[in-house]
């Protein structure tokens, strides 16, 4: 009987797994050519630390993980990892680079099964951010556009999106 109750408890908690908050960011500025950040992009990556530690206009949940798009043969950019590495270091949370640009469904699936509290931050190329938000359950996620300074914040109650907001990193 205990085994059945324990199994039921594990199964129920797996059904309700979802972080409390997911934040989506585009990688920082790129140069005219190449797969790394521009000098302005490197500056932005460093400024993200102070933005999230003291200037963010929203409540941050406890950070538990950061994911950045992995480079591959199709999309050789290292910009997502370079953008978010200073923040992962400051927060002292794991930085996962498991998924390439076309594997966003696997990314969302892992996050929705792995975390049942806290904040998961995702840094990706702008082409995939709308797809990621939609996969999490955001209705009518806007096109990201060409901006580098947007922050999308998705809050969850259980497995359902309770709010979706767009913020600017600078005023």
Mind listing the pLDDT tens digit for each residue in 53-85? 999 999 999 999 999 999 988 778 999 999 999
Mind listing the pLDDT tens digit for each residue in 12-21? 444 457 999 9
Closest CA to 95 of 113, 103, 83: 83
The pLDDT value given to residue 170: 77
Which residues, at least 6 apart from 6, have a Cβ–Cβ distance to it below 8 Å? none
- Out of 8-22, 83-97, 126-140, pick the least confident: 8-22
Residue 2 has pLDDT above 60, yes or no: no
Residue 94 has pLDDT above 80, yes or no: yes
**pTM (two decimals):** 0.89
Q: How confident is the model at residue 11 (pLDDT cuts 50, 70, 90)?
A: very low
Residue 10 has pLDDT above 70, yes or no: no
> Mean pLDDT in the chain?
90
Please, are residues 48 and 87 in contact by the beta-carbon 8 Å criterion? yes
Other C-beta atoms lying within 10 Å of the C-beta of residue 146: 7
Please, are residues 82 and 111 in contact by the beta-carbon 8 Å criterion? no
Other C-beta atoms lying within 10 Å of the C-beta of residue 17: 15
Q: How confident is the model at residue 171 (pLDDT cuts 50, 70, 90)?
A: low
- Domain range annotation of the chain: 18-168
DSSP 62-87: PEEEEEEPPP-SS----HHHHHHHHH
Closest CA to 86 of 38, 49, 123, 60: 49
Residue 148, both tokens: 């580098």
Phi/psi for 138 (5° steps) reads -70, 125
3-class SS of residue 21: strand
What span, in angstroms and rounded, lies between the C-alpha atoms of 20 and 152? 14
Domain 18-168 architecture: 3-Layer(aba) Sandwich (3.40)
What span, in angstroms and rounded, lies between the C-alpha atoms of 124 and 50? 20
Closest CA to 142 of 33, 32, 24: 24
Residue 122 has pLDDT above 90, yes or no: yes
Q: How confident is the model at residue 7 (pLDDT cuts 50, 70, 90)?
A: very low
Residue 5 has pLDDT above 60, yes or no: no
Q: Strand 150-157 and strand 21-26: pairing?
A: antiparallel
């Amino acid at each position: 009987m205990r085994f059945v109750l324990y199994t039921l408890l594990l199964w129920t908690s797996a059904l309700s797994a979802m972080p409390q908050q997911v934040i989506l960011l585009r990688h920082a500025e790129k140069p005219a050519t190449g797969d790394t950040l521009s000098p302005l992009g490197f500056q932005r990556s460093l400024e993200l630390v102070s933005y999230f530690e003291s200037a963010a206009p929203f409540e941050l949940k406890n950070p538990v993980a950061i994911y950045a798009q992995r480079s591959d043969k199709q999309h050789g950019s290292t910009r997502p990892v370079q953008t978010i590495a200073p923040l992962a270091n400051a927060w002292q949370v794991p930085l996962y680079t498991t998924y390439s640009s076309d594997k966003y469904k696997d990314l969302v699936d892992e996050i929705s099964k792995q975390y049942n509290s806290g904040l998961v931050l995702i840094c990706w190329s702008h082409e995939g951010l709308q797809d990621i938000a939609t996969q999490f359950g955001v209705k009518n996620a806007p096109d990201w556009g060409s901006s580098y300074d947007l922050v999308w914040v998705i809050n969850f109650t259980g497995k359902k999106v309770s709010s979706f907001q767009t913020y600017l990193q600078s005023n």
